[in-house]
Amino acid sequence: MHYLLIYELSDDYLDRRGEFRTEHLQLAWHASNNGDLLLGGALQEPADKAYLLFSGDSPKAAEEFAENDPYVKNGLVKKWEIRPWMTVVGENAASPVRVD
């Protein structure tokens, strides 16, 4: 199953992220190297949201990521939520649905 961790970013996110970016990226690459985090990044123009795509049997890895993320801990993320995402098309779809 796939899970989207959705961040709503603070208005001063771009101004403040530099202080916490290394630690955030270390956490993200660790989650990626473990196979939990497939993709992640912030939207641009405006940079008001970020999406991180997790894979697993439960949302636990995404929850633990958010709870330990320095962006969350230091207020760069105003709120976050995790949504199950039923991926059905593409090479890495969790529940492929093919039609002929």
In a domain, 31, yes or no: yes
- pLDDT band of residue 100 (cuts 50, 70, 90) is confident
What's the CATH code of the domain at 55? 3.30.70.1060
In a domain, 91, yes or no: no
State the average pLDDT over residues 72-95. Answer: 96
Query: At residue 85, what is the residue type?
Result: W
The DSSP annotation for the chain comes to -EEEEEEEE-TTHHHHHHHHHHHHHHHHHHHHHTTSEEEEEE--SS--EEEEEEESSSSHHHHHHHHH-HHHHTTSEEEEEEEEE---SSTT-SS-----
Q: Is residue 81 part of a domain?
A: yes
In a domain, 79, yes or no: yes
List CB contacts of 89: < 8 A, sequence separation 6 or more.
96, 97
Give pTM, 2 decimals. Answer: 0.93
- Whether 15 shows a pLDDT value over 90: the answer reads yes
User: Whole-angstrom Cα distance, residue 45 to residue 30?
Assistant: 28
In a domain, 42, yes or no: yes
Residue 40 lies in a domain: yes
Specify if 20 maps to a domain: yes
Q: Which structural domain, as residue segments, surrounds residue 16?
A: 2-85
Q: For residue 98, is it within any domain? A: no
Q: How confident is the model over 69-92, as a mean pLDDT? A: 97
Report the number of distinct structural domains present in the chain: 1
